[in-house]
Amino acid sequence: MNFYSKFQVRGHRTPREASHETALSILHERMGLLPDPTVASVNTLKPTLMQLAFFYLWITAIVVLIIRLVYNSRTWFYRTRDSNSNSNSNSNTENEQDGFVEVKVSDGNVTSTPELVTVVVEDKNGKQARSSDDGKVAIAVKEIDANSPKDGEQSAAKTFSKVKPAPKLDDLLKYLVVFGGILLYFYLCDYDHIFPRQERTYSRDLFLFLCFVLFAVAGGFTCKPCDSKILNRDQTEEWKGWMQVMFVWYHYYAAKETYNYIRVFIACYVWMTGFGNFSFFWVRKDYSLWRLLKMLFRLNFLVVCVCVVTNNEYMLYYICAMHTYWFLSVYAFMRILSSWNEHRWRMAAKFLVYFVCNTVIFDVPHVGETLFTPFKFLLGYKGGMHEWMFRAGLDHHATLLGMLCAYNYPNYEKLLNYLEKKFADPNEQRLAVMIKFVLSTVFLVAAVIWHTSIASKEKFEYNAIHPYTSWIPILSYIFFRNLFPLMRSYHLDLFAWLGKITLETYISQLHVYMQDNARQLIVYIPDYPLMNFVVATIIYIMISYILFHLTTEFSAYLLPKDLKVVLKKVTVLTILICLATLLAFATREIGLL
């Protein structure tokens, strides 16, 4: 019996036929592009204009890259032939420039022009530098902006900024070719459906077994030391990583019995949006347009490209919409009346206003729908705003909780440091232990009550109380994860690594791991579900990891610190997209596609 035979009995359609019929119905009923779906064939489902435009841009990048590689290879050939006579001097120069990492500025070694400063760079390893013709000691020089802070303002030895430099043109073209290839694979998998699909099946035994194996491997082989601070970066990345695994496997194995816990995991992500962004603005006070654009680019660049390529609505990827909205709310909270941020009671007033606004928007009927109606073109799903109001409303107080935790973080840190201090007086030591014991008992009892009385409720009943009870498991996890210094000093690096690519794994799961909005599984190896799981997981993780780094490179190229350069690059990109769209339109009009 072949793979499709089970779908062909009793008049059932194959998944591909069902997908195309659904698409034809949408074209007829919602877009009016087909006169009658009953007379249309599967072949009428052609690529959209934007899909063609993206394809032409990808082809252009490939052609330009090939031209550049040919040109560079010829240039390298002639340069190599001409440099044979000067090989010694060239090798010395290359060796001198090969190992420096850190930049230090010393008196007498800086020369300046009205616009640029030439900085003498010393070897990080402290090796003796050679003397140049003018008698100055130097290994290499680097030009930096003269308007950057002077040495005396911050430190005598200052390193360059950690802002990621923009990739070179050749590297950018390579990244574009790889990125286009991945998007083409998304298109083939989830739009053209070149691979068969199958229904999901749930086995509690298999699901728990895989979870046990994963956590055992992570704990046994990837436990590494880290900073012992509360909620340090490695710990939060680990938190994101293991929750993402549970979230994806919940979809993959249709583990509906874990739904309530998945809702808590999503609330944790929203909590982190409030905690992380509040902490950044609180410490750095950077409300610049550049910071705003970098964050919006990180959250939305990939999802916008995927929406174009797969012809999906933005709200299908509701996590991106939610994090964008809550990030903007935190930015507005900290940016508006930012002078109040240093005053305790004024901050309390801002928190109160934020709470009231969220309560009115999401708890008072029809207020949210009316407020977000102007954004229906973006936040609407299947013609309505229900999906947005449901998804955002489930966690409309989680961001506030994250900001409150970030604001009170120094006080909690002081409390833990006091409780963990070695006291000379035995009575004080016993008091500290007793306080920890009481707090542990309170959080444990709260967590048990939540688990037995709240998490056990049916899906729709639980959703109604989730926004007001999710704080119990969130705070309980934070408390117990940071209860002892030893627990804070180690993290599971496997989950921390996965935590860095959660956005990419969230988006990719819907196209190369599963299909039909995570309702069916993509099949690479028919009739071998476990081997198919292994192959699909490898492809899925590899693609997500590559997409994470590509997004970082594109962000560095399109969004440098200089906003004038940003405007120029965005203008050029817009022109290229418009030209590609016109070419796609012309191709369709003349009947080539």
Which residue shows structure tokens 């339109």? Answer: 585
Pair of tokens at residue 121: 């760079």
92-149 confidence digits (pLDDT tens) = 444 444 433 333 333 433 333 333 333 333 444 444 444 334 333 333 333 334 344 4
Pair of tokens at residue 330: 């935190």
CB 298 within 8 A of CB 555: yes
Q: Report the Cα 424 to chain-centroid distance in Å.
A: 48
SS3 at position 119: strand
CB atoms within 10 A of CB 85: 9
| pLDDT surpasses 60 at 338 | yes
DSSP symbols for 337-355: TGGGGG-HHHHHHHHHHHH
Instruction: Give counts: helices (H), strands (E), the chain.
Output: 25, 8
| Domain chopping of the chain, boundaries | 48-70+162-194+562-592, 196-559
The residue among 130 and 436 whose pLDDT is bigger is 436
CB atoms within 10 A of CB 426: 8
CB atoms within 10 A of CB 424: 6
Cα distances (angstroms) measured from residue 37 to each of 14, 20, 341:
18, 10, 59
| pLDDT surpasses 60 at 318 | yes
CA separation for the pair 225, 487 (Å, rounded)? 10
CB atoms within 10 A of CB 504: 21
Reported as a pLDDT band with limits 50, 70 and 90, residue 82 is low
205-237 confidence digits (pLDDT tens) = 999 999 999 999 999 999 999 999 999 999 999
Predicted local confidence at residue 462, as pLDDT: 97
Q: What is the average pLDDT across 78-91?
A: 56
Predicted local confidence at residue 86, as pLDDT: 55
Predicted local confidence at residue 78, as pLDDT: 64
Predicted local confidence at residue 590, as pLDDT: 83
Predicted local confidence at residue 83, as pLDDT: 60
Q: What is the average pLDDT across 278-296?
A: 95
Give the DSSP letter of residue 314. G
CA separation for the pair 487, 480 (Å, rounded)? 9
CB 355 within 8 A of CB 400: yes
Beta-strand ranges (E) seen in 108-264 are 110-112, 116-121, 140-145, 197-199, 223-225
DSSP symbols for 511-547: IIIEETTTTEEE-SSTT-HHHHHHHHHHHHHHHHHHH
Predicted local confidence at residue 135, as pLDDT: 39
Which residue shows structure tokens 């048990």? Answer: 448
CA separation for the pair 330, 333 (Å, rounded)? 5
Out of 74-78, 317-321, 538-542, which region has the weakest mean confidence (pLDDT)?
74-78
Q: pTM here? A: 0.80
**Runs of H (alpha helix) within 420-470:** 426-449, 459-469
CA separation for the pair 31, 50 (Å, rounded)? 16
Predicted local confidence at residue 164, as pLDDT: 84
24-71 confidence digits (pLDDT tens) = 454 444 443 333 333 333 344 578 899 999 999 999 999 999 999 988
Q: What is the average pLDDT across 258-278?
A: 97
Q: What is the average pLDDT across 165-170?
A: 92
Decide the pairing of beta strands 140-145 and 116-121.
antiparallel
Pair of tokens at residue 144: 């930096």
Residue 81 gets the label, from left (phi > 0), alpha (psi -120 to 50) or beta, of alpha
Which residue shows structure tokens 């330009």? Answer: 64
Predicted local confidence at residue 162, as pLDDT: 64
